[in-house]
Amino acid sequence: MDAFIHQVFVGLANGSLYASLALALVMIYRSTGMVNFAQGEMAMVSTYIALSLIQAGFSYWTAFFLTVALSFVAGMAIERFVIRPVSHASELSVVTVFIGLLLIFNSIAGWIWGYSIQQFPSPFSKFSFLANPYLSLHQVGAVGMTLCVLILLYVFFRFTKMGLAMRGTTDNGVSSRLVGIPVSRMLGIGWGLAAAIGAVVGMMVAPSLFLDPNMMVGLLLYAFAGALLGGISNPLGAVAGGFIVGVIEDLLGVYIDNELRFTAAMVLIVCVLLFKPAGIWGKHTVKRV
Amino acid sequence: MQMNILAMRPARNRKLLLIQSAFVLTAFVLPLLIAPYQVFQWTLIASYAVALLGLNLLMGYSGQISLGHGAFYAIGAYVSGILIDHYGVPYIWTIPAAAGVGMAFGFLFGLPTVKLENLYLALATFGLAVAVPQLLKYKAFEDWTGGFQGITISKPEVPFGLPITQDQWLYYVSLVVALLMFALVHNLLRGRMGRAIVAVRDHPVAASAMGVNVVVLKALTFGVSAMYLAVAGALSTIAMQYVSPDSFAMFLSITLLVGVVIGGLGTLSGALFGAVLIGFLPNFAEQISKSAPGAVYGFLLIAFLFVMPSGVAGGLKILLSRVFKTNSKHSAISTQETK
């Protein structure tokens, strides 16, 4: 029983990361109607940048916040220069552009930093007061960090004017424009936030997964599963979905087989799409002919 | 932007036939003129061309996105490898076997998933692309798949004592298969099923109102495209005499996507252009850097989508119609006539 509880906690710890990434995916989906297939690779490049900053001599937290800021700016730039021109194209073209971005980021990371795995430091290894029998120090820190991010985002969207404007943009772009909200700028900020969240997730994941250009592929799959399970149009649902997927994936990995985790995630995605395509908490959209 | 041969004038039809015959002739003569390694490269290109024909059928003509078709390529490759290695089946018969298995798996995967909107289908196939490589290495299947090490088979001998090398023989086998598959999809698209496929892509509700069973048709299309990928995979196993799980990572699915988009969606010649691209580019790009192929693919993908969305095939057609201005005038008239 104790082992089971332990696995549940580990699952929740992993789930917090999937939840954050799922939230980034949902943000972009809600504002632009597109799924950012390159989200994982963007996060990975951000993590490499953080590593370079740390190796250049910056302290961890300086590098952390600098990376988050840089990722935010990069996200806005990508939206402005790559995504906006194709936003009116067919779905096929849009997905292809995302795959192109995925390839470019993956290759740039491999080119600049190489393909051998690298160690990434954890800032929480000194917080010994967090020690507990279920999770490593870093895992506790990572959960704490992601919860902070989620709470900050909630506060931003719920209580600030810009958050309200962004919610308006995702809900109804046309009406928002009429009311005077600069929709394009909101989309850019949305992308920036998503990129920043991705950077945080990457930096939290890297100490345990070790940093290499293909670090984020599996994580992205779980984030997709979480976002779909919880409802790709519902941010809170996606977060909950991420936690659930974390627990399910960990339990399946331990009790069935470790090597089948990705297959399990894929089966989960297909099942969700078949039986409840809007997710548990998502809105079911009906298309008019 | 499809080649509707029925609406073309006989002169154009004849010109097309001439160009195609020239290509086929060149293809048959080619291996006798080039070095063995290049023959091997072109054999692989034939395999990629078949794969891209299949993916083009799915993405270009049926309008469905698949980010995971490499999985079916892997299935075909492994079916061939397992049949040859474990059951001693002659390599030639593994090609139709792979086709059958690919079609079955494709249809089964397609049946529940084609109802999904394109975006969600992309997600589901993304899952397929990530899951299958892991599955191929799975311990329980190791006796069949050879696990991490994969399967090695012996190089096929040249039959009937023909005066050609083994590489050249494998090239001809692949070439003939590729031509057959090309003819097959060409006939498919010209017939009722082809029109139904395009109708479902352009307006599924109208097609359904006209009596097309949209789900079954889309699933069948998925199955047929998977069959093509499986045949291509079998050809690659025969050509390389080796199959291992690392060759079928996510990158393969993405490479195929790049090939079909840059080659030209919605045209059959696009499959050839795309195959040449993905056949040769890694060799050149890898000399610069290991990560260069991916970066070049990514840039090309985005650049083509911005500048030449119909791919090389589409671009060539536009170019040719501008150079031979009289032709374009004729085609404008003929489309007006058919209206």
Across residues B253-272, what is the average pLDDT? 89
Q: How confident is the model at residue A6 (pLDDT cuts 50, 70, 90)?
A: confident
Q: Which of residues 74-93 of A touch B (CB under 8 A)?
A: 82, 85-86, 89, 91-93
Calculate the average pLDDT of chain A.
86
Per-residue pLDDT tens digits for A113-144 = 888 888 888 887 777 666 677 777 788 888 88
Q: How far is it, in rounded angstroms, from Cα B129 to Cα B68?
A: 4
φ/ψ (deg, to 5) at B242: -160, 135
In this complex, is the C-beta atom of A286 within 8 Å of any C-beta atom belonging to chain B?
no
Per-residue pLDDT tens digits for B94-137 = 999 999 999 999 999 988 888 887 888 888 898 888 888 888 88
Length of chain A: 289
Judge whether A222 lies within some domain. Answer: no
B108: left (phi over 0), alpha (psi -120 to 50) or beta: alpha
Report the percent of chain B where pLDDT is more than 70: 92
Q: How confident is the model at residue B332 (pLDDT cuts 50, 70, 90)?
A: very low
As its CATH architecture, domain B5-24+37-338 has Orthogonal Bundle (1.10)
Rounded alpha-carbon distances, angstroms, from residue B47 to B122, B226, B229, B254, B280 = 24, 14, 9, 16, 13
Q: How confident is the model at residue B29 (pLDDT cuts 50, 70, 90)?
A: confident
pLDDT of B78 over the 50 cut: yes
Q: How confident is the model at residue B74 (pLDDT cuts 50, 70, 90)?
A: very high
φ/ψ (deg, to 5) at A22: -60, -40
- Tell me which of A151-155, B76-80, B178-182, B283-287 is least confident: B283-287
φ/ψ (deg, to 5) at B78: -70, -40
How much is the pLDDT for B76? 92
Residues B144 and B82 sit within 8 Å (Cβ to Cβ): yes
Which residues of A are less than 8 Å from B119 in CB distance? 34-35, 91, 95
Burial (CB < 10 A; 0-12, 13-18, 19+), residue B336, is exposed
Q: How far is it, in rounded angstroms, from Cα B239 to Cα B41?
A: 9
The C-alpha of B226 sits at a distance from chain A's nearest C-alpha, in angstroms, of 18
Judge whether A282 lies within some domain. Answer: no
How much is the pLDDT for A131? 67
Q: How many CA atoms lie within 13 A of B315 on its CB side?
A: 13
Across residues B264-282, what is the average pLDDT? 88
Number of structural domains, chain A? 1
Across residues B286-300, what is the average pLDDT? 83
The C-alpha of B19 sits at a distance from chain A's nearest C-alpha, in angstroms, of 31
Q: How confident is the model at residue A286 (pLDDT cuts 50, 70, 90)?
A: low
Between A72 and A139, whose confidence is greater? A72
Judge whether A249 lies within some domain. Answer: no
Which residues of B are less than 8 Å from A252 in CB distance? none
How much is the pLDDT for B325? 64
Reported ipTM exceeds the 0.85 cut: no
pLDDT of A237 over the 70 cut: yes
Across residues A31-51, what is the average pLDDT? 89
The C-alpha of B219 sits at a distance from chain A's nearest C-alpha, in angstroms, of 15
The C-alpha of A107 sits at a distance from chain B's nearest C-alpha, in angstroms, of 5
Interface touch A93/B290, C-beta < 8 Å: no
Radius of gyration of chain B (CA): 20
How much is the pLDDT for B9? 52
- Tell me which of A78-82, B11-15, B172-176, B267-271 is least confident: B11-15
Q: How far is it, in rounded angstroms, from Cα B325 to Cα B339?
A: 22
Give the β-pairing of B151-152 and B242-243. antiparallel
Across residues A251-271, what is the average pLDDT? 81
Per-residue pLDDT tens digits for B120-132 = 888 889 888 888 8
Q: How far is it, in rounded angstroms, from Cα A113 to Cα A108?
A: 8
A94 lies in which domain range?
2-216
Judge whether A241 lies within some domain. Answer: no
Q: A142 Cβ partners below 8 Å, 6+ apart?
A: A13, A16, A17, A124, A204, A205
How much is the pLDDT for A287? 63
How much is the pLDDT for B95? 93
List the Cα angle B152/B153/B155 in 5-degree steps: 130
Q: Which of residues 112-131 of B touch A (CB under 8 A)?
A: 112-113, 115-116, 118-120, 122-124, 126-128, 130-131
Calculate the average pLDDT of chain B.
84
pLDDT of B327 over the 70 cut: no
Across residues A238-250, what is the average pLDDT? 90
Across residues A253-273, what is the average pLDDT? 81
pLDDT of A22 over the 80 cut: yes
Residues A179 and A63 sit within 8 Å (Cβ to Cβ): no
Closest CA to B302 of A96, A174, A24, A35: A96
Per DSSP, the residues of A60-125 read: HHHHHHHHHHHHHHHHHHHIIIIIHHHTTS-HHHHHHHHHHHHHHHHHHHHHHH-SS-B----TTT
Report the percent of chain A where pLDDT is more than 90: 25
Task: Give buried/exposed letters for B201-211 (b at 16+ CB in 10 A, else e).
Answer: beebeebeeee
Q: How confident is the model at residue B335 (pLDDT cuts 50, 70, 90)?
A: very low
Provide the whole-model pTM: 0.86
Between B69 and B246, whose confidence is greater? B69
Q: How confident is the model at residue B4 (pLDDT cuts 50, 70, 90)?
A: low
For residue A257, the chain B residue with the least C-alpha distance is B138
Query: What are the sequence ranges of the domains in chain B?
Result: 5-24+37-338
How much is the pLDDT for B53? 94
Q: How confident is the model at residue B290 (pLDDT cuts 50, 70, 90)?
A: confident
Q: How confident is the model at residue A76 (pLDDT cuts 50, 70, 90)?
A: very high
Closest CA to A85 of A218, A230, A187: A187
pLDDT of B145 over the 70 cut: yes
In this complex, is the C-beta atom of A273 within 8 Å of any C-beta atom belonging to chain B?
yes
φ/ψ (deg, to 5) at A114: 80, 170
Judge whether A69 lies within some domain. Answer: yes
How much is the pLDDT for A200? 93
Judge whether A146 lies within some domain. Answer: yes
Length of chain B: 339
In this complex, is the C-beta atom of B288 within 8 Å of any C-beta atom belonging to chain A?
no
φ/ψ (deg, to 5) at B229: -60, -40
How much is the pLDDT for B98? 94
Q: Which of residues 168-207 of B touch A (CB under 8 A)?
A: 205
